[in-house]
Amino acid sequence: MKEEMVLVVRRSLLESLGMFQGLQFEIDRYLLPMLSRENNFFAVRSSAETDPSLKQIIPYAILTSDGKVLRYKRGKKSGEQRLIAKGSIGIGGHMNDRDEGLFALDKEAYFAGVQREIDEELIVEHPLQNRIAALINDDSNEVGQVHLGVVHVLELAHPAAEKRESMILGIEFLTPAELRAERDSLETWSQICVDNLEKLLGER
């Protein structure tokens, strides 16, 4: 069986641009070089998962509507075993070698890949808006050391979604206050996003 290939950049690229912990709002400074042909490549996922010299690029889409944010829980069939049973406000996954067009700095192709990831996991109406709000990095744990998130905010006309994948459990649209109340049960990236929710959602 062919091993899964995932899109990566070298940690040294991020170090040259300025390594950060948590959220980074200077998106173009990082994303444009990361999606440039000479700076990214596909690596075997099984080896990339244990190689901190590589960062796997992960779209992390926050779905919002009427001031509420979608939260779900990762079931036992989750692809990332280290995150099982954790709550999450991010939908998305690895960019695979079937996501053609990523390397030409073609934003449309990248966004199409992100939408495909969402459509694989959820039944949800097409978003009114899909914008990149920040990058996320967390080197404080094993999972974070080998991943780099691209935080998208998708605005929906209605707070409604159904799961398409069995790993998605307990979908709810919650207010920022409700999310902060259950912060301790969320995965690390979601905790970081919840701590900065107003800025991510563009609220003043």
Backbone angles phi, psi at 50, to 5 degrees: -120, 20
State which amino acid sits at residue 61.
Answer: A
pLDDT score recorded for residue 59 = 92
Nearest to 61 by CA among 127, 154, 126: 154
pLDDT score recorded for residue 78 = 47
Cα torsion at 180, 72, 107, 147 (round to 10°)? 80
Domains of the chain: 5-200 (3.90.79.10)
| Continuous segment of H or E residues that includes residue 195 | helix 188-195
Backbone angles phi, psi at 12, to 5 degrees: -60, -30
The three-state secondary structure class of 50 is coil
* pLDDT of 113 higher than 90: no
Nearest to 176 by CA among 78, 92, 66: 66
> Which is more confident, 37 or 140?
140
Render pLDDT for 53-80 as a digit per residue (tens, 0 to 9).
999 999 999 999 999 999 999 776 545 4
What's the mean pLDDT in 85-103?
A: 75
Nearest to 48 by CA among 57, 40, 56: 56
* Token duo for residue 114: 């992100």
- Would the pTM of this model clear 0.75, i.e. be above it? yes
C-alpha R_g of the chain: 16
In whole numbers, what is the pLDDT of the chain averaged over residues?
Answer: 87
| Continuous segment of H or E residues that includes residue 42 | strand 40-44
Distance of CA 105 to the CA centre of its chain: 19
* pLDDT of 83 higher than 60: no
What's the mean pLDDT in 39-60?
A: 93
